[in-house]
Amino acid sequence: MPAFHFREENRLKGKGRKHAIETGVEPLSAMTRRASRISSISESIFATVTRWAVEHQAVNLGQGFPDFDGPEWIIAEAHAAMRAGKNQYAPMHGTRSFRRAVAAYQKRFYGIEWDPEDEITVTAGATEALFCAVLAFVEPGDEVIITEPFYDAHHADVLIAGAVPVCVTLHKPDFRFDPEAFERLVTPRTRMIILNNPDNPTGKVYTDEELRWIADVAVRHDLLVLSDEVYEFLTYDGARHIPLASLPGMRERTIAVSSTGKTFGMTGWKIGYAMAEKGLTDAIRAVHQFATFAVNTPGQHAMAYALGKLEEYLPVLRTLYATKRDLLFAGLCRTPLTPHMPRGGYFLVADIPESVAAGDIACAEHLARHAGVAVIPLSPFYASCDEGKRMLRFCFAKRDETIREGLARLERVPPEAWQSLA
Ligand SMILES: Cc1ncc(COP(=O)(O)O)c(C=O)c1O
């Protein structure tokens, strides 16, 4: 048997240890093998909360997707496409039907003209579009300004690119940013701003004035803006979504991203898209062709059809979600939590009562365990300050029965149980 010394940082167990003893070759542990670009990527809070939900049979108001099905007429279109033999690889940049449908609605709704051939790319959800855009334009060591609380992929994508996320905080109560603080974050290393409008998790819909201010900063400092607009159609109370690319000087420096998963409540189909001027699109496609190459074909055909029906569909969608938002908001007002009314998206954040000393993670775990309601603590979505420690995120893309049951459970939490968190 060969003489063998285990490295301290590489404590091997089971099979790995046996292999090392038999061969004299000390294999690295999986942890040691990890590339440095993912060294700070760990299990997401969503996985943790889902585990709590399963363990405690909790009503899940945390997970960010509908617990009801998308429209039957879109499913029928997908079946028809499958039966018509649309089952092989789609073109790398997406089916022509889908790209044309995106170009048509962008023109109809916002007056933006994207060339469907050269400026629209279909991706495996908005998630892939974001990833491709960051990898295509951000160098290791660059800085990328993101808003916090952030959408987790915005932060993670920048880290995976070997770059540095620099956070500008959206402050309560209306989640505005401080323009001076924002501009101070711009340095010669800044390459990109990532914006989420409407915003997950705050429900903020950026005003024309705010967007013009950001556009002005981007133009003056020659920055790209990755504008994540997946909730573009989920706006309430007359709030109007303004796509960043529609502002003067922004078409040539914006990568706009959206998702049919959010628009049509079918997140499992993972059909998203990136829109950007040709030169930028070429770079995004350079990554996309080796990340996924192509996205599922019948789904694209069905979603092309669905995008053509937006005018009829959107009033139904907005009324459905606005009703759910109001139901959840009103119910939370009857608990010790203080909800903030969102104007877009399908999340709302609520403040933890001041009497509760425990932070958001302990509070969320307590609610899953003792109330049977799973929600998302907000601190994992902050990197530069600890405002998130006092907030929880709720998702209202849920059946009314789910929301009602979650609220009933929260209302049954006795005052002593809240005090026990003090
Ligand atoms: C802000 C934001 N961007 C992107 C995504 C991902 O979209 P998709 O499911 O199309 O990948 C989500 C999903 O929750 C989101 O909230």
CATH number of residue 388's parent domain: 3.90.1150.10
The ligand 1 atom nearest the CA atom of 124: 11
Q: Is the CB of 269 under 6 A from ligand 1?
A: no
Mean pLDDT score of the chain: 94
Residues 326 and 413 grouped into a single domain? yes
258 occurs within a structural domain = yes
Residues 363 and 224 grouped into a single domain? no
Cα radius of gyration rounded to whole Å, the chain: 23
Q: Which of 134, 200, 393 to mutate to test ligand 1, by most ligand atoms within 8 A of the CB atom?
A: 200
Of 293, 310, 327, the last residue of a domain is 310
Residues 173 and 291 grouped into a single domain? yes
257, 228 Cβ separation under 8 angstroms: yes
Q: Is the CB of 259 under 6 A from ligand 1?
A: yes
Of 310, 338, 361, the last residue of a domain is 310
Residues 282 and 183 grouped into a single domain? yes
Residues 304 and 319 grouped into a single domain? no
Measured in degrees and rounded to the nearest 5, phi and psi for residue 349 equal -110, 150
pTM over 0.85, yes/no:
yes
2 occurs within a structural domain = no
Q: Which residues of the chain have pLDDT under 50?
A: 1-3, 9
The 10 Å CB-count burial string (b at 16+, else e) for 44-83 is ebeebbbebbeebebbbbbbbebeeebbeebeebbeebee
Residues 299 and 323 grouped into a single domain? no
Which residues form the domain of 165? 85-310
Residues 96 and 192 grouped into a single domain? yes
Query: Smallest Cα–Cα separation from 266: which of 312, 236, 310, 299?
Result: 299
Of 261, 280, 310, the last residue of a domain is 310
Residues 281 and 353 grouped into a single domain? no
Specify the pLDDT at position 1: 43
Tokens standing for residue 190: 């800044």
Specify the pLDDT at position 8: 53
Of all protein residues, the one whose alpha carbon is nearest to atom 14 of ligand 1 is 64
Residues 298 and 320 grouped into a single domain? no
Of all protein residues, the one whose alpha carbon is nearest to atom 7 of ligand 1 is 126
Q: Is the CB of 376 under 6 A from ligand 1?
A: no
409, 59 Cβ separation under 8 angstroms: yes
Residues 54 and 93 grouped into a single domain? no
3-state percent helix, strand, coil for the chain, nearest multiple of 5 = 45, 15, 40
Tokens standing for residue 309: 């029906």
